[in-house]
């Protein structure tokens, strides 16, 4: 091992000993010592680590690997939990329809919307599909959303941004997100056009890679011009696995990683965001910019922004209609007095949440393969682990029993990093700047295409392979990316093999 690698591994061992022991008010002294021991980064790459095949602890699914592999419940879910999961599954898959309709329990879609079901974007509980790289073969997919924001112009907006009551200032007419569909009789907001420019990257050993650099444009605007200074942030639907376990990581462990020195000038920052249930400002965890604190709140936001359906947390029946879109409020909505106040009443919302926090992470494959182990060593040596932090032990006091005190391997620090100009979209969200992204978990990433053969990687799906995803890394991750470029072709292949085994 070279000197740099040894230095990185030593620094990591020190940092993670802190991460596991400070501030864990859910653990006894004895537990803390045990947790620090099992979560310390390995220095032995000659064999797999204990429990490495089970990335989600007792919740890991060992079901057969096929296109359904992201759709199984946590293996340790109770019988009642499984019943709720099944109902939630039905709601995640079902197509909602506009009101009025004869199927009263399924209506209320829109007036503006991006898709009719959760599953339309989260393909088989995995990632969504981008409309395609070839302009001649572009599909009409819906899974790439466009967030819209404008710079603050009033003191009120500036105050709301500063106090965290507004994550960003929405476009005054079009709102926080472009909805490309609408109910009959109402114009949709517009459509997204993408152009890709190929950029060649030279790699050590005579290899090359071609990255696809996107530019985005909005066309067919349905409600007049947008503000000239509008900033847009395209986001692809993320995989749904392991989310309850990510929610059960103790904030002290996440904040310890923000404080630790990881080398390479890497310093993750937490995002702070508003919890709608408590009104408090809490650690953000979900979405590409860690802008939502809980799976429940993100799921309710999806019902509202993506489908135009009201829930207890987002009570407007008109979803994302803005005041400037008055015709939107003349459309019928789907709330039924005999079914409750909201189009998606609390009981149904709870089923969807139970489902969304319990999609299981699949078992690892080939952990003892010599090439995979060599790739794992390279992953540590290249300092990918500074952000893609391998292991945690979840809280003993997590809200749901199945998520408590599990040794998990998500490969994320849940923190924001400046990833450089190449990936920046200039849209800030709560504390996250336009160039900052949350480190995405890598568990299950090797099965991405087993679940959705057309899936691609990164926040806007621009990377057509795992290698391309790594080559887009810049900013704080520039040094790690440069080490991959400098690897021999065999080493790069091993690194990718390791990722594919996750
Ligand atoms: C129109 C496409 C679309 C639909 C429909 C949709 N989602 Fe999503 N989902 C996304 C996108 C895009 C993101 C990432 C958003 C971001 O980064 O701001 C996301 C993120 C999420 C996340 C966070 C995942 C993570 O790893 O942080 C959850 C949970 C989620 N969606 C649940 C749901 C549920 C439940 C539904 C149905 C009620 C739903 N989504 C419907 C596109 C969609
Ligand atoms: C400074 C922190 C940092 C370092 C170091 C880093 N990553 Fe990442 N990684 C990220 C962030 C943040 C993203 C998401 C960027 C985006 O979507 O625009 C990401 C995305 C990825 C993705 C795509 C994930 C997805 O869901 O689409 C892969 C694969 C990946 N990283 C692998 C690696 C490897 C391999 C290394 C080491 C060579 C590495 N990363 C080093 C922060 C980091």
Burial class (CB in 10 A: 0-12, 13-18, 19+), 336: middle
CA separation for the pair 476, 139 (Å, rounded): 34
Query: Hunting for tokens 């376990």 — which residue is that?
Result: 245
Mean pLDDT of the chain: 94
Q: Is the CB of 427 under 6 A from ligand 1?
A: no
Q: Is the CB of 437 under 6 A from ligand 1?
A: no
- 247 CA to middle of ligand 1, Å? 15
- 153 CA to middle of ligand 2, Å? 34
Mean pLDDT of 370-390: 98
Does 100 sit behind a cis peptide bond, omega within 30 degrees of 0 on the bond before it? yes
Mean pLDDT of 470-498: 98
Taking a C-beta distance cutoff of 8 angstroms, is the pair 313, 296 a contact?
yes
CA separation for the pair 60, 73 (Å, rounded): 9
Residue with CA closest to ligand 2 atom 36: 384
3-state helix, strand, coil in the chain (%, to 5): 35, 15, 55
- 482 CA to middle of ligand 1, Å? 32
Taking a C-beta distance cutoff of 8 angstroms, is the pair 67, 451 a contact?
yes
Sign of CA dihedral 455, 90, 359, 65: negative
CA separation for the pair 237, 358 (Å, rounded): 18
Residue with CA closest to ligand 2 atom 11: 439
If you ran DSSP here, which 8-state letter would residue 403 be given? G
pLDDT digits (tens, 9 = 90+) for 413-463: 999 999 999 999 989 999 999 999 999 999 999 999 999 999 999 999 999
If you ran DSSP here, which 8-state letter would residue 305 be given? I
Residue with CA closest to ligand 2 atom 6: 384
pLDDT at 7 over 80: no
- 54 CA to middle of ligand 1, Å? 25
User: Which strand (E) or helix (H) includes residue 157?
Assistant: helix 155-163
- 490 CA to middle of ligand 1, Å? 37
Taking a C-beta distance cutoff of 8 angstroms, is the pair 284, 274 a contact?
no
- 298 CA to middle of ligand 1, Å? 7
- 438 CA to middle of ligand 2, Å? 9
Q: Report the percent of the chain where pLDDT is more than 90.
A: 88
CA separation for the pair 298, 243 (Å, rounded): 11
Q: How high is the pLDDT of residue 337?
A: 81
Instruction: Name the β-bridge partners of 235.
Output: 145
- 32 CA to middle of ligand 1, Å? 34
Identify which of 87, 109, 237, 247 to mutate to test ligand 1's pocket (most ligand atoms within 8 A of the CB). Answer: 237
Burial class (CB in 10 A: 0-12, 13-18, 19+), 184: exposed
pLDDT at 372 over 60: yes
pLDDT at 6 over 60: no
Residue with CA closest to ligand 2 atom 31: 470
pLDDT digits (tens, 9 = 90+) for 84-113: 999 999 999 999 998 888 777 788 999 999
Burial class (CB in 10 A: 0-12, 13-18, 19+), 94: middle
- CA of 290, closest atom in ligand 1: 27
Take residue 77 and report the two structure tokens written for it.
């879910």
Count of beta carbons in the 10 Å neighbourhood of residue 305: 21
Q: Is the CB of 480 under 6 A from ligand 2?
A: yes
Taking a C-beta distance cutoff of 8 angstroms, is the pair 294, 300 a contact?
no
Q: Is the CB of 120 under 6 A from ligand 1?
A: yes
CA separation for the pair 300, 302 (Å, rounded): 5
Q: Is the CB of 303 under 6 A from ligand 1?
A: yes
Take residue 106 and report the two structure tokens written for it.
């399924």
pLDDT at 1 over 60: no
- CA of 113, closest atom in ligand 1: 1
Q: Is the CB of 414 under 6 A from ligand 1?
A: no
- CA of 429, closest atom in ligand 1: 18
Q: What is the CA radius of gyration of the chain?
A: 22
CA separation for the pair 491, 502 (Å, rounded): 17
Query: Hunting for tokens 């340790």 — which residue is that?
Result: 76
Ligand showing the shortest atom-to-Cα distance for residue 289: 1
- 297 CA to middle of ligand 1, Å? 11
Residue with CA closest to ligand 1 atom 10: 237
pLDDT digits (tens, 9 = 90+) for 121-169: 999 999 999 998 988 888 877 899 999 999 999 999 999 999 888 999 9
Q: Report the percent of the chain where pLDDT is more than 70.
A: 96
Q: How high is the pLDDT of residue 400?
A: 98
N residues, the chain? 502
Least confident of 14-18, 146-150, 290-294: 14-18
If you ran DSSP here, which 8-state letter would residue 22 be given? T
Q: Could you tell me which of 343, 296, 281 has the C-alpha nearest to residue 315?
A: 343
Take residue 186 and report the two structure tokens written for it.
């109402």
Taking a C-beta distance cutoff of 8 angstroms, is the pair 394, 408 a contact?
yes
Identify which of 71, 141, 287, 310 to mutate to test ligand 1's pocket (most ligand atoms within 8 A of the CB). Answer: 287
- 377 CA to middle of ligand 1, Å? 33
């Amino acid at each position: 091992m070279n000197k740099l690698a040894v230095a990185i591994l030593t620094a990591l061992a020190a940092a993670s000993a802190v991460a596991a022991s400070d501030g864990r008010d859910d653990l006894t002294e004895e537990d803390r010592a045990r947790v620090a021991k099992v979560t310390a980064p390995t220095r032995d790459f000659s064999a797999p680590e204990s429990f490495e095949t089970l990335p989600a602890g007792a919740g890991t699914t060992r079901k057969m690997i096929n296109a359904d592999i992201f759709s199984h419940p946590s293996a340790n879910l109770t019988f009642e939990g499984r019943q709720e999961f099944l109902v939630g599954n039905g709601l995640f898959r079902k197509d909602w329809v506009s009101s009025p309709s004869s199927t009263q329990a399924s209506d209320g879609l829109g007036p503006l919307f991006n898709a009719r079901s959760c599953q339309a974007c989260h393909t088989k509980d995995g990632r969504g599909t981008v409309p395609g790289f070839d302009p001649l073969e572009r599909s009409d997919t819906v899974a790439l959303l466009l967030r819209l924001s404008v710079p603050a112009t009033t003191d009120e907006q500036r105050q709301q941004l500063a106090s965290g009551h507004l994550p960003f200032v929405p476009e005054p007419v079009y709102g926080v997100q472009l909805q490309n569909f609408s109910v009959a009789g109402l114009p949709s907001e517009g459509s997204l056009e993408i152009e890709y420019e190929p950029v060649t990257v030279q790699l050590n050993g005579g290899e090359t890679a071609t990255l696809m650099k996107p530019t985005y444009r909005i066309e067919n605007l349905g409600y007049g011009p947008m503000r000239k200074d509008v900033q847009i942030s395209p986001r692809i639907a993320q995989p749904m696995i392991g989310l309850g376990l990510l929610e059960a990581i103790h904030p002290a462990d996440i904040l310890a990683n923000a404080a630790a020195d990881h080398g390479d000038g890497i310093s993750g920052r937490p995002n702070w965001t508003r919890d709608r249930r408590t009104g408090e400002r809490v650690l953000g965890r979900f979405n590409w910019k860690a802008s939502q604190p809980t799976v429940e709140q993100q799921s309710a936001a999806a019902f509202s922004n993506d489908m135009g359906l009201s829930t207890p947390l987002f009570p407007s029946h008109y979803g994302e209609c803005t005041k400037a879109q008055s015709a939107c409020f003349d459309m019928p909505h789907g709330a039924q007095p005999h079914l409750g106040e909201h189009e998606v009443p609390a009981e149904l919302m709870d089923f969807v949440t139970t489902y969304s926090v319990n999609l299981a992470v699949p078992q690892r494959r080939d952990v003892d393969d010599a090439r995979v182990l060599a790739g794992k060593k390279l992953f540590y040596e290249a300092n990918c682990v500074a952000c893609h932090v391998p292991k945690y032990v979840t809280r003993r006091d997590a809200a749901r029993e199945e998520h408590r005190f599990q040794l998990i391997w998500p490969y994320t620090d849940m923190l924001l990093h400046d990833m450089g100009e190449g990936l920046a979209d200039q849209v800030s969200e709560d504390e996250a700047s336009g160039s900052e992204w949350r480190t995405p978990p890598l568990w299950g990433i090797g099965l991405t295409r087993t679940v959705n053969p057309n899936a691609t990687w990164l926040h806007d799906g621009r990377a057509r392979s795992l290698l391309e995803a790594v080559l887009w890394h810049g900013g704080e991750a520039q040094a790690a990316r440069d080490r991959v470029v400098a690897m021999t072709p065999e080493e790069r292949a091993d690194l990718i093999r390791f990722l594919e085994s996750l």
